[in-house]
Structure 1
Amino acid sequence: MTSAQSSRAYRGVSAGDRAAARRTALIDAALACLAADGLAGVSVRSVCAQARLTARYFYEAFTDLDALLVAALVSVTDEVESASVRALDTVTPDDTAAQVRAAISAGYGVVATDAGKANVLLVATAGHRALRTRQQQFVDDFADIVIDNLPVLHALPGQRRREARVLVLFLMAGSIELIVAVLTRRVRMSQADLVDRLTSLWLAALATL
C-alpha cells in the first residue's frame, strides 16, 4: 500500500481516525484480557484476537506489549483523575468531608466493578516493572491534583503545602494497598464501607494539618 493510499479517507473516516480507533480497540482488548486471565493472559496474539485485528495493526500502534500495557494503564489513570476532579466540582468548596468522600467514591468507582481496569492499575503492577513505574507516576500526579483541587489544601502556604504533599502521598499509598486487599478479597468490605473507611482515614489525617 502506498503512502497516499494509506492516508486516504475510507467511508468518510480519515486514516488518522481509523488508526486512533484501532489503538483504542487494542487498549480495550488488553483490559478485557486482563479481566479474564490477569497479566499472564495478555499477549500480542490474545489482544489481537480480542480486538479482531492483525498483528500488523498492533505494531502500527505499539512498539511492544509493554507499550500497550502502559497505554492501558494511562487510560485508566486518566479516567480516575477526571472522575475525581469532576466529583470535586459537584461539591461546595467549604465542605471538606463531602469533597473527600466524593473524590474517593468517584475514583474508586472506576475500578470497583471493572476487573480489567483494577488489574492494570492496582494488581498487575506488582509484577511488571513498566506498569509499576507508571503507577508511581500516577500517585505523584494524583497527589498534586488533590492539593490543587481540594480547597483546604490548596489554601496552605508554601512550607505547609509541601508537608501536605508528603501526607497525601502517604495516604495515597495506604489507600491503594487497602483497595488492592479488597479487590483481591484479602479483606472483605463492600464498596460503600470502603469509601466510608477511606473517607474517615483521610479526614483524620488532613485534620493534623
Structure 2
Amino acid sequence: MTSTRAYRGVSADERRELRRATLLDTALDCLHDDGLSGVSVRSICARARLTPRYFYESFADLDALLVAAVDAVVDEVAAAALAGVASAGDDTAAQVRAAVDAGYGVVVTDARKANAFLVAAAGHGPLRERRHRVVTDFADLMMDNLSALSAQDPGQRREARATALFLMGGAAEVIEATLAGRLRMSRAALVDHLTRLWLGALGEGLGRTG
C-alpha cells in the first residue's frame, strides 16, 4: 500500500517528486565522476542516500534513469534556446546567435551536463535512438521559432527542414567534439561559427533574410 499522508507538511506525491529529482541530479554526478561503466543502481542510491525501493518507484531500471537524466539536460538546453530566441526580437541573425549561445551555455558551464550530452552522443543502448530524436527535435524547434522559417509554404518548409536537420546534426558533432576536447574553440568562437553556418544556409538555401 502506498502512503498518501502528508509528512511534516509535505505530501506523498511531493516527496516522491523530490526523490525523483534527487536521483536525476545524482545520476549526473555519478556519470561525471565515475563514467558510464561505473554507474549502477547501487552507486546512485548510495550517493543519493536512498534505498533501491525508492529508485524503482520512479524508474524501471538504470537505463530509464540515464535516459531521463539526459532528457532533463536536453529540455534545459531547449528552454534556454527558446528564451534566447524570444529575447532577440525579429532579426534572424540575432535569433540564431541567441539560441546557439544560450543552448550551448547550459552544457559548457556545467561539466556534469556536458558529460550527459557526451553520453547521449556516444549512443549507448537506449540513448542511441534518443540521440537521433534530439537532433530532429532541435531542428523542428528552430523551424517553429525562427521568424525566417515559421511562415513558409509546404514546399519551402520541407527544404528548410532538411537544411535544419543537416545543420543541427553538424552542430551536435561540433559541440560534442569541443566538449570532449577534440576541437579547441572558445565559446565565443563556436557560437560565431555555428551562427555563420546557420545564416549562410538560411541565406543561400531559403531566400535572403533581413
TM-score range, shorter chain: over 0.9
Tell me which residue corresponds to 2:18.
21
1:167 aligns with 2:163: yes
TM-score of the aligned structures, taking structure 1 as reference length: 0.94
| Residue from 47, 51, 56 that aligns with 2:48 | 51
Could you tell me which amino acid in structure 2 is paired with residue 165 of structure 1?
R
Equivalent residues, number:
205
Tell me which residue corresponds to 2:27.
30
Residue 175 to residue 91, structure 1, CA distance change in 2 (3 Å): same
Distance 2:181 2:138 in 1: 25
- The Cα of 1:127 is off from its aligned counterpart by 4.2
Cα shift readout 1:66-114 (whole Å, capped 9, x = no counterpart): 0000111111111111111111110111x11111000000110111122
Tell me which residue corresponds to 2:67.
70
Distance 2:123 2:82 in 1: 29
- After TM superposition, what 4+ stretches of structure 1 lie above 4 angstroms from structure 2? none
Tell me which residue corresponds to 1:197.
193
Cα shift readout 1:135-171 (whole Å, capped 9, x = no counterpart): 2112212111111100001121111111101110100
- The Cα of 1:121 is off from its aligned counterpart by 2.3
Could you tell me which amino acid in structure 2 is paired with residue 147 of structure 1?
M
1:41 aligns with 2:51: no
Tell me which residue corresponds to 1:181.
177
TM-score of the aligned structures, taking structure 2 as reference length: 0.93
Unpaired stretches in structure 1, ≥5 consecutive residues: none
Identity %: 60
Tell me which residue corresponds to 1:135.
131
SS at match of 1:151: coil
Distance 2:62 2:101 in 1: 31
Computed over aligned residues only, the root mean square deviation of the Cα atoms, in angstroms, reads 1.2
